[in-house]
Amino acid sequence: MRLDDEVLDWRWKGFPVLPAGTTVSSFVADRPSLFEAGFSWPVATLRASAIEHNVATFAQWCADHGVSLAPHGKTSMAPAIFARQLAAGAWAITAATPWHVRVYRARGVGRILLANELVDVDFVRWLIAERAADPEFEFFCYVDSVDGVGILGQALSAGSSPAAEPLGVLVEIGPMGGRTGCRTADEVRAVASAVQAHPSLALVGVAGFEGPFGHDRDAATQDLVRGFVRTLADTLRDLDGEGLLDRRASSYVLSCGGSCHVDLVTSVLAEPVRCSRPVRAVLRSGAYATHDDGLYAQTSSLAAQLRASIEVWCQVLSRPEPGLALLGAGRRDLSFDSGMPIAMWRRRACGGEVAALRASISKLNDQHAFIDLEPSEELAVGDLVGLGISHPCTTHDKWQLMPLLDDERRVIDCVRSYF
């Protein structure tokens, strides 16, 4: 079913009560105002111009610095956003789980990087069938242990035809105390040797995630991030020199994240790595497309060039004390793992223009937000408050369908997420 044909009914949080059978395409045909279309508050919205700007800006950044982009799809799980990223030149879309891969394939994504270890044998069976049905489909995943290589290699060998192409894998490296990934050079070589022993696998690259070093911009953190990415590059070169990378590959992959430290990661990824095959440097940033007003606005090295696209609009439900208002949105509607939502805008219950709001969110319950007001602010029961968010990844997953707005906050489309 095309999203245009999706029926808008009780399944979609915040959407208006509409005549039975109303579809997305018929609802947006007249570009209704967010404030006059009958939405039930709270409702999370996306700004189309911000997404388009962010996708174009990041694509140009990668092109200017000579790196490929495989944006992480887990942020939005929204195929409409993937399509924009691919149209702007993204090399692949990154997934975090086998289920993500199935969603991407259902929406036609042709090259997927699973930035995780794959030891799910049932999913491997699905993957074998998917690759056989579509020889153009390209898939890569991580390995970081001899045991994991054994599970993956044996599952592929058991289910694949003898003529099947080997599956491209990247050895993952992680810092001590970090997430997944080999911790030592000896572990890397043991994993690489294990891959060589499985004819169904081909070691074609090295990958890692710089996130465990922190989100701050202190000099010490920056040195750790640069050093880590150089370790990835050095490891790729060393594996190639030792004959542990697959010689059938036309190129090798060197990949790192980079949502916060985009500049540092890119600067090292873009440095030449002398290998026997061309090296494709791949950045996996994901949060940039919808961005935010909190975590990434404060930490991303490209924050000044990106625009927040998400607003959550909710009503003032109560004014029980001076300086305090209770909003009808809470932890079920708003991200809070990386900072509180940000009070940005106000619109009177009687209508009128949207104005800036001087207030802050101090606490969240499941369905309520506590908003502390400046003494000069007048906020009445029934007024609408527009909130910016901190951390788009944990906001998208609370809203499976979001209205897409133009710059006048008129609804021009809807964006579906799959969580």
Instruction: Please give the Cα distance from 127 to 218 (Å, whole number).
Output: 42
Q: Where are the alpha helices (DSSP H) in 115-218?
A: 121-133, 146-159, 185-196
Residues in the chain predicted with pLDDT less than 70, given as ranges, are 1-2
Confidence at residue 244, expressed as pLDDT on a 0 to 100 scale:
98
DSSP 148: H
281 assigned to some structural domain: yes
290 assigned to some structural domain: no
**Residues 281, 338: one domain?**
no
Confidence at residue 1, expressed as pLDDT on a 0 to 100 scale:
53
68 assigned to some structural domain: no
Instruction: Please give the Cα distance from 237 to 204 (Å, whole number).
Output: 12
330-346: pLDDT as tens digits: 999 999 999 999 999 99
Instruction: Please give the Cα distance from 302 to 346 (Å, whole number).
Output: 28
289 in Cβ contact with 51 (< 8 Å): yes
Q: Tell me the CA distances in angstroms from 33 to 28, 30, 95, 156, 413, one per residue in order.
A: 10, 9, 35, 52, 12
249 assigned to some structural domain: yes
**Residues 151, 225: one domain?**
yes
List CB contacts of 187: < 8 A, sequence separation 6 or more. 144, 145
**Residues 328, 281: one domain?**
no
Confidence at residue 36, expressed as pLDDT on a 0 to 100 scale:
97
Domain boundary residue among 234, 257, 285?
Answer: 285
Domain boundary residue among 237, 254, 285?
Answer: 285
DSSP 376: T
**Residues 276, 320: one domain?**
no
Question: What's CA 49's distance to the chain center, in Å?
Answer: 18
**Residues 117, 151: one domain?**
yes
Q: How much helix, strand and coil, in percent to the nearest 5, is found in the chain?
A: 30, 25, 45
**Residues 324, 200: one domain?**
no
**Residues 26, 155: one domain?**
no
**Residues 278, 322: one domain?**
no
89 assigned to some structural domain: no
H or E stretch including 211?
none
**Residues 314, 274: one domain?**
no
Q: Structural domain tally of the chain?
A: 2
Q: Is 283 in a helix, a strand, or coil?
A: strand
312 assigned to some structural domain: yes
176-189: pLDDT as tens digits: 999 999 999 999 99
**Residues 239, 343: one domain?**
no
CATH of the domain at 216: 3.20.20.10
User: Domain containing 13: what range?
Assistant: 3-48+305-416
- Angle subtended at Cα 393 by Cα 103 and Cα 261, rounded to the nearest 5 degrees: 115
